[in-house]
Structure 1
Amino acid sequence: MARTVLVAALVSYSIVIALNVLTVSLPPYGTAVAITGLVLVLVLQLGHSMPGANRAPLRRRVLTLSAQALFSYLPLVVFRAEWGSMAGFLAGSLLLLLPPRVGWSLYAAVGASLLVPTLLEGYSVLDTVYLCQSTLLTGLVTFGLTRLNELVAEVHATRGELAHAAVTEERLRFARDLHDLLGFGLSTITLKSELVHRLIDSNPRRAMAEVEDVLTVSRRALGDVRRVARGFRDMSLEQEISSARSVLAAANIELEARVSAERCSPEADSVLAAVLREAVTNLLRHSQAGHCTIEAGRHGAIARLLVVNDGVRPGYRDPAPDGGSGLSNLEDRVSSIGGRLETGSGGQSTFRLLAEVPAQAGGSWRPLGGEEATVGSSAA
């Protein structure tokens, strides 16, 4: 639409000038030359109004501007003031193709140059002002419509890029959520399956109980996949602590959990739950832990989660492909709501993970009552 308006305006201006020229008594060949000159100026102007014309080599821009100036001023010798408005195209092209300081200076010079034919013709002051003003207005309209056309093209291109970026972001979100949600479940299934394999002969009852747990975890993992596909990413820190207690007990890892009774916003709670799930997954995969401490609570406007475990193997690297993307995903999650994530050695073969997020990020929270509740410790 913007391109159509631009072309229609340029053609309309050319028709107006053609009608002015036809009022001059000329032989047929003179009229033919005038119309040819109009067409050439219009073609040059359409080229100058094309997107990206201002990025053409300077030599080419100067050459086409010179040709347009020639066809704009030479006919003045014959047609005088009736041809004057054609210089408006030249004024607009100067603004479009040259640097602003040079372009605006030459734009003003074009307007002033039309004083010459009007004075030679003996026009009145009002007619002189009208001719100069209409020429400069033609230049402004040409410049404005051309820039509008370029901006519309840029917006359409940007919209396509934004759509592509949105698709890419959704793919990254899906991959990140799939990693965060399934990593813990698959690690739990693997751990409990190994436990069942050891117990099936010596303790069939315990093995059956662990099989039930495997089925529960696998169903939860299936539900997680469906939630990711729907874009539903709410998680519960309380549920994750309960799951962590179960899986760590199965792995003979002592757990000490201290959890504040005050609950933060659903957004912060979901992010901290994802952090805890990844922390426990990493503990199972990358350490030989015997003890783990989880502290979670609200401190003023900050919701805080601290996970510390022992049994860290110095220099250990996960041999699995893309095995180190979990913490990077968590950093993205935490930073997306204005929080921070710290990880590193806590000394004496321990690993420490600290996440702090705004307690009211993106939602409200409600106190549950009481100061702090100790979940206690459990050991298998």
Structure 2
Amino acid sequence: MTSQDRFDGGRRSRDLPPPRVARTILVVVLVSYAVVVALNILDTTMPTHQVIIAIAALVLVLALQLRHSAPGANRRSARVRLTSLGAQAVLTYLPLLVFRAEWGAMAGFLAGSLLLILPPRIGWILYGCVGLSLLVPSLIQGYSVLVTVYLCQSTLVTGLVTYGLTRLSDLVAEVHAARGELAHMAVTEERLRFARDLHDLLGFGLSTITLKSELVHRLIENHPERAVEEIQDVLAVSRDALADVRRVARGFQDMSLEQEIRSARSVLAAADIELDVRVTLKPFGPRSNSVLATVLREAVTNVLRHSEAGRCTIEAGQRGETVRLLVVNDGVRPGYRDPSPDSGSGLANLKVRVRGVGGRVEAGCPDGRTFRLLAEVPAHTEVPQQQIFDGKLSARITAA
């Protein structure tokens, strides 16, 4: 699957509700069905004691249905599942003999529970049997064909709604859990890549320096001329190692904001986070470009690791000689608290980098729901003169 495919998939599923909302919708629908039955019972001329019994039975059936629609209900032991299904069947059919058509919708709960709790083949067979069982009270009571069809059809539809909403709620929870796994995998892959780079570039050089330094330590007293030669080799290897370190660092410093935006599209799409990008930039200095790319990478990492975002916005623009980058996400977790002024070393490091080019960084959660990260840097910066190691090193060894 390409990055564009993942991005398109993320856009198609951007309206998927969070698990808590999906679960709330399921509970509201189940309670609404029960309320409709309660209103039908209260609208009859039954004696008060029968109404009380009916409401009590209705509450028990609703409680059993919520239990059967809970996550992992079909993984309970067979004895527990069959016991609760048996109790729901008794509470479904016994009141049906007394309350008749007003109680018919409760058979739909039983049909849905059978699909949720039992293996598919058995569940669907019994689901159909529950729908057909509503023919019996219709024939006994002499209901019209229209009422009979209504009872059977409403029972089967209620069962499907109960089953479908429960399964969709479970699916939403699994998708959000998978998004967290994707974020973890992305971070782990980046760590492994960096570890591989360090191992491949520095492992040999550092090992050589260690071995030759041990050799120099053994030769320096008895063979000083040979020790000087080995020191020259150590210096040469150390220069190569230093060049390797700069090469690794250059891979992190010589970054492009445009390239990081493309990477953010791919990564956030894989995590099912909708991304809105608004970029209006003119060409600007490479150092400022690298710093803003670093800011964006850290912001995207925080979105993946520390939030439950469903939407992220990236804005970049230029005002005069100032380039501005704003990253906003809506995934602040409940009870958000900023434990430190910089909210961790990641943002602290960003502030050091941005201030190093004469810019500024602001980060926070002003409304308790969205997190904003703002960085502003000069469009063109002068690289300060630094003392760069030119490879020449002199050493004086004095005798003790």
Normalization by structure 2: what TM-score? 0.52
Shift of 1:119: 2.1
In the superposition, relative to structure 1, how do residues 154 and 207 fare at CA in structure 2: closer, same or farther (>3 Å)? Answer: closer
Q: Does 1:56 align with 2:39?
A: no
What is the 5 A alignment of 1:157-306? 157-187=177-207, 189=209, 201=225, 213-214=236-237, 216-227=239-250
Counterpart in the other structure of 2:43: 23
Distance 1:209 1:221 in 2: 19
Q: Give, in whole Å, the separation in 2 of the partners of 1:144 and 1:157.
A: 20
Cα deviation for residue 175 of structure 1 reads 2.5
1:116 Cα offset (Å): 1.5
Give the secondary-structure state (helix, strand or coil) at the position aligned to 1:25. coil
Name the structure 1 match of 2:144.
124
Change (3 A) 1:103 1:213: same
Partner of 1:250: none
Considering fraction of residues, name the structure with more strand: 1
Name structure 1 gaps, 5 residues minimum: 233-380
Runs of 4+, deviation exceeding 6 Å? 191-200, 206-209, 228-232
Output the amino acid matched with 2:86: S
* SS of alignment partner, residue 74 of structure 1: helix
Match of 1:32 in 2: 52
> % of aligned pairs identical?
63
1:107 equivalent to 2:130? Answer: no
SS of match in other structure, 2:105: helix
**Aligned pair in 2 of structure 1 residues 28, 202: CA closer, same or farther (>3 Å)?**
closer
**1:200 shift after superposition:** 7.4
Query: What's the counterpart of residue 91 of structure 1?
Result: 111
- Taking a change above 3 Å as real, the CA distance of residues 89 and 37 of structure 1, as seen in their structure-2 partners, is same
Q: Is the 8 A contact 1:88 1:138 kept in 2?
A: yes
Residues 13, 170 of structure 1: CA spacing in aligned structure 2 closer, same or farther, 3 A cutoff? Answer: same
Counterpart in the other structure of 2:100: 80
Cα distance in 2 for partners of 1:32, 1:64 equals: 23
Match of 2:378 in 1: none
The answer to whether the 8 A contact 1:177-1:228 is kept is no
Q: Are 1:111 and 1:132, in contact at CA under 8 Å, matched by a contact in 2? A: yes
Shift of 1:87: 0.3
Assess if the C-alpha contact under 8 Å between 2:202 and 2:241 holds in 1: no
Q: Report the counterpart of residue 13 of structure 2 in structure 1.
A: none
Deviations 1:213-262 (A, max 9, x none): 34531321321442576799xxxxxxxxxxxxxxxxxxxxxxxxxxxxxx
Determine if contact 2:74/2:116 at 8 Å carries over to the other structure: yes
Distance of 1:27 and 1:202 partners within structure 2: 111
**Quick one: distance in 2 between partners of 1:71 and 1:218?**
78
CA distance in 1, matches of 2:77, 2:231: 79
8 Å CA contact retained: 2:54, 2:95: yes
TM-score (norm 1): 0.54
Counterpart-to-counterpart distance in 2, 1:231 and 1:100: 56
The alpha carbon displacement at 1:211 in A equals 7.0
Q: Is the 8 A contact 2:205 2:237 kept in 1?
A: no
Amino acid of the structure 1 residue aligned with 2:150: Y
AA at the equivalent of 1:77: L
Residue identity opposite 1:40 in structure 2: L
Compared with structure 1, are the counterparts of its residues 211 and 49 closer, same or farther at alpha carbon in structure 2 (3 Å cutoff)?
closer
Shift of 1:161: 3.0
The answer to whether the Cα contact below 8 Å between 1:111 and 1:133 also exists between their aligned partners in 2 is yes
